[in-house]
Amino acid sequence: MLATQQIESAIEDGLTKKRILFVDDEPNFLNGIRRMLRTYRDDWHMDFAGGVDEAVAMAENGAYDTIVSDVNMPMKSGLDLLEILRNREQTRNVPIIILTGNAESDLKRRALDIGATDLLNKPVAQDDLVARLRSVLRLKAYQDQILHQNETLERRVRERTVDLERARRDIIWRLAKAGEFRDEETGDHVIRVACCSRALAQELSMPPDEIQSIFLTSPLHDVGKIGIPDRILLKNGALTEDERAIMQRHCVIGASILQAQPKRISAFLDESSDYADDGKVQESDRLRDTAIQIIMTHHEKWDGSGYPNSIAGDAIPISGQIVAVADVYDAMRSERPYKRAFTVPETLDHMRPGRGSHFSPRVFDAFINIVSTFEEVRERFAQ
């Protein structure tokens, strides 16, 4: 029977009719079975194959609930059929009943060894065959049910994971926006810093999960500006030394927002959560660590003249080194109430002397390689 015919007849039968394939090289035997099971035609859809190759082709497309095969056939035997079907994804779990002669005990053992579901003696008595088919079909129905439940569960877990991931990203972006609201910078600045930081991390061949952490958390670099008084944050003109010192506190304030919760708060959060602890908790710890690193170090400088801790060189985490470059570039290329936007050559002229003093030489060189990517990001997320 052609594959399409088989599929069509499967659809016609609907899902209620069980599908059985009988395999034997003797047409008389198959006709006998056909006659024997005539009264079951309403419950069972029955197909017949005259050899192993034909049976394999039919089984791959036919979605049978059970296969009944003779063992002794010319060319390929029923054991060959077993072996082939057990090694193929589509037919691995189909119950297979093997028909043997009464005395063939060795063959029976081998058949069970390579995955026969059940054995039946030839010649076949109708009662025996029907009883055996019923029990094997019941087994197959349980199997299908479990498989279906597993698939449903897996799909639900996948959907829930996507939901959680989306909620987490959403919260990060909103928190970043809260920081930017108080600043002269627009929300697009943090998106550009995130995209450019990701491009830099990729150019530096960092591991994919670290690239993703930097991308997700770099928008938070200035979240601490929430805690800076308006008179300083929005002041027109240069800041006094004291005011600058207060302004520089945005790093420490930002980090304290993200720092681990005091015990009583995390206990409260655990109580109000419906979900058990899982891998996601560890992952969110990692994200929080990266966020704190970036917030604390995006104003540090390679030569140790930055703030808040005046750390130098590779004591500055790579995430902070990266965001420092992306943040300065975007600020220079953007218009502010007190300045126009610098052109690309002006910006590069201004930043170049900072290689090895303000900026990490390695990160700066990577940045020079991908200035065009930075500009594509600016075009996509224009002010």
Catalytic residue numbers?
Answer: 225
Terminal-residue alpha carbon distance, the chain: 65
Comparing CA positions, the residue from 191, 185, 197 lying closest to residue 373 is: 197
How near is the Cβ of 356 to Fe ion at its closest, in Å?
Answer: 21
Q: 115-144: which residues touch Fe ion (CB under 5 A)?
A: none
Beta bridge partners of 339: 336
Distance, in Å, from the CA atom of 185 to the CA atom of 182, rounded to the nearest integer, reads 8
Contact between 300 and Fe ion by CB under 5 A: the answer reads no
**CB-based contact 273:265 (threshold 8 Å):** no
Nearer to Fe ion, 20 or 191 (CB): 191
Instruction: Please identify, among the stretches 28-36, 77-85, 217-225, 271-279, the one whose residues bind Fe ion according to the rule CB under 5 A.
Output: 217-225
DSSP class of 292: H
How near is the Cβ of 273 to Fe ion at its closest, in Å?
Answer: 32
Contact between 222 and Fe ion by CB under 5 A: the answer reads yes
Nearer to Fe ion, 70 or 222 (CB): 222
Nearer to Fe ion, 108 or 333 (CB): 333
61 burial type by CB count under 10 A (0-12 exposed, 13-18 middle, 19+ buried)? middle
How near is the Cβ of 373 to Fe ion at its closest, in Å?
Answer: 18
Distance of CA 92 to the CA centre of its chain: 27
Instruction: State the helix-helix crossing angle for 371-380 and 344-351, rounded to 10 degrees.
Output: 130
Scored b (16 or more CB within 10 A) or e, 254-287 reads bbebbeeeeeeeeeeeeeeeeeeeeeeeebeeeb
Nearer to Fe ion, 97 or 176 (CB): 176
Instruction: Please identify, among the stretches 87-95, 216-224, 277-285, 374-382, the one whose residues bind Fe ion according to the rule CB under 5 A.
Output: 216-224
Single-letter code of the amino acid located at 45: H
Nearer to Fe ion, 65 or 327 (CB): 327
What totals of helices (H) and strands (E) does the chain contain, helices first?
Answer: 17, 5
User: Quick one: which of 291, 327, 367, 374 contacts Fe ion (CB under 5 A)?
Assistant: 327
How near is the Cβ of 341 to Fe ion at its closest, in Å?
Answer: 15
How near is the Cβ of 185 to Fe ion at its closest, in Å?
Answer: 6
- List of residues contacting Fe ion (CB under 5 A): 222, 327
